[in-house]
Structure 1
Amino acid sequence: VPARRVLEPFSDQRFRPLAVVVDNANGFPQSGFLEASAIYEFPIEGGLTRLMMIYDRIDPASVGPVRSARDYMVAAARSLDGILVHDGGAPSAMHAIASENLTTFNAFNRGELFARAGGRSAPYNLYSSGSGLRQAINTLRLEQVRSLRTQRYRPAEDAPAATAVQVRFSGAYLSGFSFNPALNHYRWQRNGQSAADANGQSVVVEAVLIARIVAQPIPGDPQGRLFVRLEEGEATLLIRGKRIEGRWREQNGVSFFANDGEQIDLAPFKHWVMFVPNWAQVTIE
């Protein structure tokens, strides 16, 4: 039997994506991983990262802590044709939203969609609910239900194995995943420890995309914020315990093309995209 890759037909109904900017520093453990179709992890100033949780299938009971946007997060949400959910943003992010006339749900002017949680201090205590956000999309008549018809990729048995990845974003932060073959998923490792959400549930995904980017501090920015161009670059896909090398491209969100030219659709899989800057150390084993 040839050890070939398999493509299974896959169809699903998807909604207009909610793209929620979520803290990944003092706001850990966060809410909203369980229902997310995808999670994007972006580098930010200070050697840390910030998450964008994307919902186009199941809306989260609770999501947060919601934090401020960066212009490259605005670009990622726009590429998804999603609605950005955020608590203000860097000047360049707010400029991008205004100049492109994007509809976003910003806690600064849509406070009714957000609530402060007790037992946590600001800015790590702002949450929203998927039902409220989805209702707001419908009220503005921005909902777009689409039929997803694609193929679910399964790598060849003889593809190179990879059961773990670690990305050292800085001396202050390490993010990674370890593969569980019995459950066929990747469990998030945060600073070297298995990470759980605010309800104590393990954070797991079916596929991890390591998308390499060029990032540099903005000259003269008092916070040391980063200039990041989300266009394309080298990438490694981890799926079913295998690794596939290729390139990523900002196209309807994030698209992945294996080195043999085949596009592998990530939409059928709950996936995590790590946008890895040039200075980060990546270890895949």
Structure 2
Amino acid sequence: MKKLLFAVLVFALLLSLTACGTEPPVQSGLPEPVTDGTPAPTAEATAEPTPSPTPLPYTNPLSGEPMEEDISGQRPFAIMINNIQQALPQCGVSQAEIVYEIPAEGGVTRMMAIFTDISDIERIGSLRSIRPYYADVGLSYDAIVIHAGGSEESYTEMSGYDVDHLDGVLGTYVEGAFYRDPDRMQYGLEHSLFSIGAKLIEAAEDQGFSLTHEAGAYDYGLTFSDTAAEQCTDEALYASIGFNSFKTTDFEYNEDDGLYYAFEYGSEYMDDEYGVQMSFKNLLFLETDVSVIDDVGRLRVRTTGTGEGWFVCGGKCVEITWEREMNTDAFRYYLKDGTPLELGVGSTYIGVRPGYGSSVTFDKEAQ
């Protein structure tokens, strides 16, 4: 009996130990995920952001365009350009920041192209003689003036204001500064004078002209903005300035690049050296007093005081005023309410016309 009781106790003890060594499965309370056999997506690597280009630290004082170096103290070159039809096409003018067109005797116009840098231009011209009012324009930029002869009054003007100038007709300079193009001579000797940019710089230094402004950065009276067209009030997809019944210059706006492309004498206004049509970000049409001063028909063009005008940019236009107190001052431009005008960033055409017998229109159908 004792043996039977001992066996029962051992059996009960073994059952107890077996139960203690077995853990029931833990229930999470959440359903098991259902899969369709598609591999789980893996996290994609985050693309590194493209760094923004570092803005250039300086701006061109005559165009507002960004630059790598500071040229605010560098004197520009103001070059007289022949614009009679027989002398076309011109060369090198597309590299100018500013191009002036002003009447001369005989109903024609001449250009004065203002360059901050001519060092890489292999062919500039054809060059033409200067008049006092062109000398005044060059003076407003403290520029080194380049010309091919001139009227007696223009020499008096340049002497009186101590204008640094190189004369391709009467001067003697380093070899190659001025030369005659044989192909152009068939149209007349006066249409054949050209120059090389680097040689003009060399000639200016040879004459002892400073290539920098005396007082450092020069105040050209110009400010620039990417939103300049917002100052304008009326549409101007086309613009035309008529200097007289004989000479007009027309512009057509290209919405793709925001530039006005120029036409004269019924054709595209071209730069033969670079093979491009002349185009501008800004157009300024300025009105002033023009009078005949001699029996040859030479003109006096007022370049000081105040006057009316138009500013054209971004397919739009607005009336403006201009002022210049003295011959040594820069031209300044204002909206009609007196707010200083901002130009668009880029090159500028400035047409100066008489207050009578001339015209400005923005209606192509009226031409």
| TM-score, L = length of structure 1 | 0.88
Q: Report the alpha carbon displacement of residue 250 of structure 1 after superposing the two structures with TM.
A: 3.4
1:11 to 33, 36, 59: 59
Q: Report the alpha carbon displacement of residue 191 of structure 1 after superposing the two structures with TM.
A: 2.4
Residue in 1 that maps onto 2:82: 23
Residue in 1 that maps onto 2:164: 103
Residue 255 of structure 1 contacts residue 265 of structure 1 at CA under 8 Å; is this kept in 2? no
2: distance between equivalents of 1:158 and 1:135?
43
1:211 partner amino acid: L
Residue 72 of structure 1 aligns to a residue in which SS?
helix
Residue in 2 that maps onto 1:213: 288
Name the CA shift for 1:64/1:260 in 2 (closer, same or farther; >3 Å): same
Residue in 2 that maps onto 1:53: 113
Asked if residue 195 in structure 1 is aligned to residue 269 in structure 2, the reply is yes
Between Structure 1 and Structure 2, which shows a larger proportion of strand residues? 1
Residue 135 of structure 1 aligns to a residue in which SS?
helix
Name the CA shift for 1:264/1:138 in 2 (closer, same or farther; >3 Å): farther
Residue in 2 that maps onto 1:91: 152
Q: Report the alpha carbon displacement of residue 134 of structure 1 after superposing the two structures with TM.
A: 2.0
Which deviates further from its counterpart, 127-136 or 221-230?
127-136
Cα displacement string for residues 14-53 of structure 1 (whole angstroms, at most 9, x for unaligned residues) = 3211000111002111011221011000111111100001
2:157 partner amino acid: A
Q: Which has the larger radius of gyration?
A: 2
Unaligned 5+ segments in structure 1 are 1-8
Asked if residue 114 in structure 1 is aligned to residue 189 in structure 2, the reply is no
Cα displacement string for residues 54-76 of structure 1 (whole angstroms, at most 9, x for unaligned residues) = 11145433211111100000111
2:353 partner amino acid: V
Name the CA shift for 1:36/1:80 in 2 (closer, same or farther; >3 Å): same
1:281 partner amino acid: S
Residue in 2 that maps onto 1:284: 362
1:133 to 200, 214, 219: 200
Asked if residue 37 in structure 1 is aligned to residue 97 in structure 2, the reply is yes
1: distance between equivalents of 2:268 and 2:90?
14
Residue 37 of structure 1 contacts residue 57 of structure 1 at CA under 8 Å; is this kept in 2? no
RMSD: 2.3
Name the CA shift for 1:150/1:41 in 2 (closer, same or farther; >3 Å): closer
2: distance between equivalents of 1:151 and 1:24?
28
Residue 10 of structure 1 contacts residue 151 of structure 1 at CA under 8 Å; is this kept in 2? no
Unaligned 5+ segments in structure 2 are 1-56, 61-69
Residue in 2 that maps onto 1:257: 334
2:212 to 139, 144, 162: 144
Q: Report the alpha carbon displacement of residue 129 of structure 1 after superposing the two structures with TM.
A: 1.5
2:350 partner amino acid: V
Residue 271 of structure 2 aligns to a residue in which SS?
coil
Residue in 1 that maps onto 2:260: 186
Which deviates further from its counterpart, 237-246 or 196-205?
196-205
Name the CA shift for 1:267/1:55 in 2 (closer, same or farther; >3 Å): farther
Residue 153 of structure 1 contacts residue 264 of structure 1 at CA under 8 Å; is this kept in 2? no
2:126 partner amino acid: P
Name the CA shift for 1:134/1:30 in 2 (closer, same or farther; >3 Å): same
Which deviates further from its counterpart, 133-142 or 229-238?
133-142
Residue in 1 that maps onto 2:7: none
Residue 234 of structure 2 aligns to a residue in which SS?
coil
1: distance between equivalents of 2:129 and 2:231?
43
**Would you say how many aligned residue pairs link Structure 1 and Structure 2?**
275
How do 1:158-169 residues align onto structure 2 when only pairs under 5 Å count?
159-169=233-243
2: distance between equivalents of 1:131 and 1:138?
11
1: distance between equivalents of 2:183 and 2:343?
37
Consecutive aligned runs of 4 or more in structure 1 exceeding 6 Å deviation: none
1: distance between equivalents of 2:230 and 2:163?
42
Name the CA shift for 1:88/1:179 in 2 (closer, same or farther; >3 Å): same
Between Structure 1 and Structure 2, which shows a larger proportion of helix residues? 2
Q: Report the alpha carbon displacement of residue 167 of structure 1 after superposing the two structures with TM.
A: 2.1
2: distance between equivalents of 1:52 and 1:157?
27
| TM-score, L = length of structure 2 | 0.69
Percentage of matched positions with identical amino acids: 25
2:277 partner amino acid: S
